[in-house]
Structure 1
Amino acid sequence: MSDFLNKLTSKQNVVGTFVKTPDPITMEVLSLSGLDYVILDAEHAPFGRRELDQCIMTCRLVGLPCIVRVPDSEPATILNAFDCGASGIQLPHVKTAEQAERIVKLSRYGENGRGFAGSTRQANYGTTPLSEHLQNNQDPLVIVQIEDPEGVDNAHDIAAVDGVSALFIGRVDLTVAYNETNPDSEKVINACSAVCHAGRSVNKPVGIFLPTTENITMWQELGINMYAIASEHAMIIKGFKAVVEDFH
């Protein structure tokens, strides 16, 4: 995890993927791929609390950093992801600095923040001293998704919030929000560029989802260093389609 965080915050390129299958074996298999990290998509995939717990546990056991894209910013949702031992959380549809500030507060221990429990996996089931556990979790990984026009307009203020670790561009949601049908339209690319500029202005990493590595140089030139390429579903379909085409 520390190696991943060092790469991310020092603006080295890191590559991961979205995971849609709520099964620990998938995590075990993906750990053999060389990916820097995975994002467990609890927003759009059927991750229940039990499945999320098992997948995070497996990621920790195999040394694969895992970020949970949570479905909402409710205190219990954020608490559960961290208590299970997630490397970090990713929050969808962050539109304002005030929203980002609330998310950061709910991710940290303290008054009106994250509820403390020393018996969780992240606290090594009660074997980590309280002071050490607090020290280990004083700066949790919090990634906010910018995927609405309002979020783009407020991207600089959001990025400047203390405790926001990185911005992540939701390019497809932006495409829909701008009433476009092409994620490569000028309006969408300009919005992505604005988010990248906001990240650079406060020296924070910026990430993006891409279906393939095509045109990745363009995104690198914009300043993006965190990439989530496709998903394991997409890779399975793509791989077996190629097999079927070759076979026939």
Structure 2
Amino acid sequence: MVRTDSFRAAVRAFEPMMGTYLKTPSPIVCEVLGLAPLACVCIDAEHAPFGRMELDACIAALRAADMPALVRVQSGTPGEVLSALDCGAVGVVLPHVVSGAQAEAAARSGRYGPGGRGYAGSSRAAGYTTGTMAAHIANSNARTVLVAQIEDAEALDELDAIAAVEGIDCLFVGRMDLTVSLGADSPLDARVIDAVERICAAGRRHGKAVGMFIPPSEDCARWQALGASLFILGSDHQFLLDGARALGKRLAPAQA
């Protein structure tokens, strides 16, 4: 099973992986998901109510289970990236990446080096001062995963520029926002499908992994054949609803 230390290598080797979203700011939910046969949990700090302390507690719980924790940040500012990585996330999903220049800036903010991530040896990621600066920098730069989320129509003309950025490990298709951006009514619209295929092709051209969310009506195999390898589907909210609906169906209807 893919775990924290091997996650970036697995992404870059295009290993097929399934993850899910965390929408509830609860370390207990993280502890439960840490027992699941998943490759990662993506904490949705973009759309769900995660403050710094909730983010910290959830990442700590996932790390205790050796479950790779990605964080989808709100806007991809260097401060947001720094917070997620200092808390111990294995990587960051950067929303609304629309240009090569934006991807380059994001890649710098996620790794140590000139103009890059600020250093603190007192963070969880650095082992709370128990390791050397050199060891932590080397470890972090080797293991941190940076994912550029493609979810805007304007990004489609910049796919090669984005995918060519050295520090970007994966292109992730934000299917629902892409649908809205293209003016389509459904994620199954031909324009959306064409855009997803173009993103997959850019990943193949530049040797980058491609990840995606897909609607429940679609099957992973089709997109795997086009180069997608990382799927982040469902969420803790969805699992609760699905379980409750299934439970309700077990009760026989009242007799007339």
**Do both proteins adopt the same fold according to a TM-score greater than 0.5, normalized to the shorter chain?**
yes
Does residue 77 of the first structure (1) align with residue 77 of the second (2)? no
Pick the aligned partner of 2:60 from 52, 57, 64. Answer: 57
Structure 2 counterpart of 1:222: 226
AA aligned to 2:74 is P
Question: What are the Cα deviations for residues 53-108 of structure 1, in whole angstroms up to 9, with x where unaligned?
Answer: 00001111111000000001222111110100000000000000000000011112
Q: Does 1:98 align with 2:101?
A: yes
1:168: which partner in 2?
172
Q: Match for residue 136 of structure 2?
A: 133
Task: Say yes or no: does 1:13 pair with 2:16.
Answer: yes
The answer to whether residue 47 in structure 2 is matched with residue 32 in structure 1 is no
Counterpart of 2:222 in 1: which secondary structure? helix
> Contact 2:35–2:65 at 8 Å: present in 1 too?
no
Match for 2:100: what amino acid? Answer: A
Q: Which runs of 5+ in 1 are unaligned?
A: none
Q: Distance in 1 between matches of 2:8 and 2:101?
A: 25
Equivalent in 200, 204, 210 of residue 206 of structure 1: 210
1:179 maps to 183
Helix, strand or coil: the match of 1:191?
A: helix
CA drift of 1:121 comes to: 0.3
Deviates further, 106-115 or 174-183: 106-115
> SS in structure 2 opposite 1:138?
helix
| Displacement of 1:241 | 0.5
Task: Tell me the TM-score normalised to structure 1 length.
Answer: 0.97
Per the alignment, residue 242 of structure 2 pairs with 238
Answer yes or no: is the 8 Å Cα contact 2:126–2:136 preserved in 1: yes
The 8 Å contact of residues 210 and 230 in structure 1, kept in 2 or not, is answered as no
Q: TM-score, normalised by structure 2?
A: 0.94
Q: Are residue 156 (structure 1) and residue 160 (structure 2) matched?
A: yes
SS at 1:94 equivalent: coil
Q: What is residue 194 of structure 1 aligned with on the other side?
A: 198
Any idea what SS the aligned residue of 1:229 has? Answer: strand
Aligned partners of 1:213 and 1:229 also within 8 Å: no
One-letter identity of the residue aligned with 1:241: R
Residue type of the alignment partner of 1:78: V
- The Cα shift of 1:211 comes to 4.1
Deviation, structure 1 residue 110: 2.6
User: For the residues of structure 1 that align with 2:12 and 2:129, how far apart are their CA atoms?
Assistant: 30
Residue segments in structure 2 that go unaligned for 5+ positions in a row: none
